[in-house]
Structures are given as structure tokens and as C-alpha cells.
Amino acid sequence: MPDASAPPAGNDATAHSVSSPEGEIEIGRLSKVFGAGATAFRALDGVSLAIRRGEFFTLLGPSGCGKTTLLRLIAGFEQPSSGTLRIGGQEVAGLGPNRRPVNTVFQNYALFPHMSVADNIGFGLRMLGRRRAEVQSATAEMLRLVRMEELADRRPGEISGGQQQRVALARALAPRPRVLLLDEPLSALDLKLRKEMQSELKRLQAETGITFVFVTHDQEEALTMSDRIAVMNAGRILQTGSPEEIYNHPADRFVADFIGDTNFLEVELLEVAAAGARIRLPGGAALPANLPAGPAPAAGSCVTVVIRPEHARLADADGALAGTVERSVFFGTDTHVHLRLDDGSSFTLRRQNSAAAGPAPDPGSRVGIALAEGALQLLRN
């Protein structure tokens, strides 16, 4: 694709080369307040973020966390109350959506019902005033990219939900935007189609090299698709990092709880060093633990550690922790064993089912719990 076909949208190739590869989108202390006075609602509260060029970036959080508001601010459908927002090195605050080099895939697709699939895909380029021949060739290429050549003349009402999804993607990609925004685009699809579209999205991103900003509340979707994830809650970003970082080293209780199954243990912090910390478990065992980013808590204080269920295994009576089995739940490939620790807290571990594993322990039996190395992650207070 020639670079000249990138939408002008208040920007040009010069700014493209000047901007650092670090920040395709640079967001500084961005806030959005809806309403005023006593009924004011702070949907976004001083968010700072840098999204790199060409990455698949996911905004993950529960509904109402501000992720969609942030997406709308980037698209230009809303204007920020305060803060800065730069796309490709250019400040875009005050510019309307038609003047920004970003395109959106809407949750309900928002295909134009009175236009054919091909006319939908070519709409952006036509609005940019491109020549007819150029619009046609770009539309044909997009139809091929999303494998919809045969349905070019159909209306959106005449194709399936999955096909509409592809058309919405093609329409948003056709003008070759700097950034593609995706607002929970897979939520309306059934499970099988969703899995299919997940790999389709990854393929399209790899083939076009366009920066994708993806909004979802589905943690599994976020983990499997993203280069980096920002976990949001109550209008703030709690943690930004690769899926592995977010999953293995959650810095925050909300992040740990929102992503995957988690055990929380209250422990005593023995010492803090550059490499890590040592903590004392309720049972008395002293073990190393990973420190979260940011200022470390003081030694001697009571802190919370996170242990993922798959990082613990049943041991003989001499494990780091000890407790009583309450019940076991069979999940096919693995079994979840729910335990009550001696200090009264609950604990879940995940046991891989294999021919050699033997039967799950009976309820009421006393067991030990061994923890894998590096399994303990300290949380920010």
C-alpha cells in the first residue's frame, strides 16, 4: 500500500516521520466529565498512556470502567474535559471525527443499510475525494482481504452477522487509517464465530501493519490477542503491560481478580530488596515473592500476595501451606480443588488431569500445598 493513501485528516507524511515509534497515540492526564454539579460523572480520570505504532493494544475492564469513553475520545465522538491527546504526533483535541486519521469498527457495525457492501467499503475514500478508479481498486483489495468478493453487491441486511463484521472491518481499513479502533466488535457473535474472527483480526493487523486499539470486557480475548493490555476500572488505568505481565505479575488487587482465577493471602512482609521480597506465609514458611512496580511497602507490614491456582500443587503434609479439602470440581483437562487453609482462608488449586495423576483427594482429607518458584506476587497497597 502506498503511504500516500493514508487519510490526510489534519496530518501528513511529515508528521508521520517526526513522531517517535513509541507513541502513535500519546495520552496525557486525559479526563472526561459528563454533566455538571452534583450529577457530574467522571468517566475518565487523568489517564496517561502511550500506544506504540503497529501494536495490538487492548483496553480491558468491566462495563462502565471508562474504556469506551477513552475510545470515543480518540475517535473524536467526544471531546475531553482536560488533558492532551496526540495521534501521530499531532494534538487532535477539538478536531471532529472526520478530521482524525482513525477509523472505528462499531459494536453494532453501523453499516449503511441503503448501500451495497462495496459502496460501504468505499465510503471513506469517496468522502476523502479520491478518484473513482482508486476507490474501486481499494474496495476490490479490501473485499479480497476480508474474503467477501462474492457478496460485493449485496446489502448489509442480506448477509450474516459474521459477514457484516468483515464488511465493517474492511470499511474501516479501506482508507488506511493510522489507527483502527475496535469497540467490542466480537461481542455480538457466537463462540465459534468469535474464535474465528479473533484470528482473522490478528491476520488483518499483521497484513496491514495498522495500530489496533481494541476494547473488550473479555479477559480471555484480551490475553490471547493483545501485544499489550491496559486494565481499567472506575475511569483509571490500573496496569499496563504484556498479557504475561498482567497475568503473572498483577500489581493491583482488582487486576488480579479481574483476570483469571486468583488466591489472595494476607502475609507478613519480612524484608524488601532490589531483586524481590521475602514474606512469611500464615503457616510459618518464609518464601521469596515478586515485588510490584512502584514504591515497595515497608518491611514488617501486613501485605497481600497473589497465587494463581495453577502455580500450586498438592503435596504431602510438608508443603508451604496446609489445609483441608472441601470439594473437587472436574473440568475435563483439569480439576479445581477447593481447600480451607488452617488459618481459615479459602484456597483453590488447579490439578492437571492425566493418566498418571490418580484420583482427586476426598473431601475432608488433610493435604499440603507446594508452591512453584516465583508463584507469589506481592500487590500494591
The reply to whether 214 sits near other proteins by the rule CB under 8 A is: no
What grid cell was written down for 126? 469517496
Quote the least distance from Cβ 153 to other proteins, whole Å: 18
The reply to whether 33 sits near other proteins by the rule CB under 8 A is: no
Choosing from 13, 18, 40, 127, the residue that interacts with other proteins (CB under 8 A) is 127
Residues 6+ apart with CB under 8 A from 158: none
Alpha helices, H only, the chain:
13-18, 67-75, 117-127, 132-145, 161-173, 191-208, 219-225, 243-248, 253-258
Number of residues that bind other proteins (CB under 8 A): 24
Q: Which is nearer to other proteins, 6 or 65 (CB)?
A: 6
Establish how many alpha carbons lie within 13 A of residue 121's alpha carbon, considering only the half-sphere containing its beta carbon: 32
User: Strands 277-280 and 263-272: what pairing?
Assistant: antiparallel
By CB under 8 A, which span of 37-45, 60-68, 105-113, 256-264 interacts with other proteins?
Answer: 105-113
CB atoms within 10 A of CB 42: 16
Q: Which is nearer to other proteins, 126 or 236 (CB)?
A: 126
Burial class of residue 271, CB neighbours in 10 A (0-12, 13-18, 19+): exposed
Q: Is the dihedral of CA 180, 184, 188, 192 positive or negative?
A: positive
The reply to whether 264 sits near other proteins by the rule CB under 8 A is: no
Secondary structure class of 144 (helix, strand, coil): helix
| 215 and 182 Cβ atoms separated by less than 8 Å | yes
Choosing from 41, 112, 330, 331, the residue that interacts with other proteins (CB under 8 A) is 112
The reply to whether 366 sits near other proteins by the rule CB under 8 A is: no
What grid cell was written down for 147? 474474503
Choosing from 58, 104, 139, 377, the residue that interacts with other proteins (CB under 8 A) is 104
Restricting to residues 173-202, which ones interact with other proteins according to CB under 8 A?
175
Quote the least distance from Cβ 187 to other proteins, whole Å: 15
Quote the least distance from Cβ 327 to other proteins, whole Å: 47
Burial class of residue 298, CB neighbours in 10 A (0-12, 13-18, 19+): exposed
Choosing from 15, 55, 106, 282, the residue that interacts with other proteins (CB under 8 A) is 106
The reply to whether 235 sits near other proteins by the rule CB under 8 A is: no
Quote the least distance from Cβ 81 to other proteins, whole Å: 16
Quote the least distance from Cβ 362 to other proteins, whole Å: 55
Q: Which is nearer to other proteins, 3 or 244 (CB)?
A: 3
How many angstroms from the chain centroid is the CA of residue 279?
31
User: Strands 179-183 and 82-87: what pairing?
Assistant: unpaired
Quote the least distance from Cβ 5 to other proteins, whole Å: 13
What grid cell was written down for 145? 482481504
Restricting to residues 39-98, which ones interact with other proteins according to CB under 8 A?
75-77, 96-98
By CB under 8 A, which span of 112-120, 218-226, 312-320, 357-365 interacts with other proteins?
Answer: 112-120
Query: What is the signed CA dihedral for 144, 146, 147, 149, rounded to 10 degrees?
Result: -60
Site of interaction with other proteins (CB under 8 A): 7, 9, 75-77, 96-98, 102-104, 106, 108, 110, 112-114, 123-124, 127-128, 171-172, 175
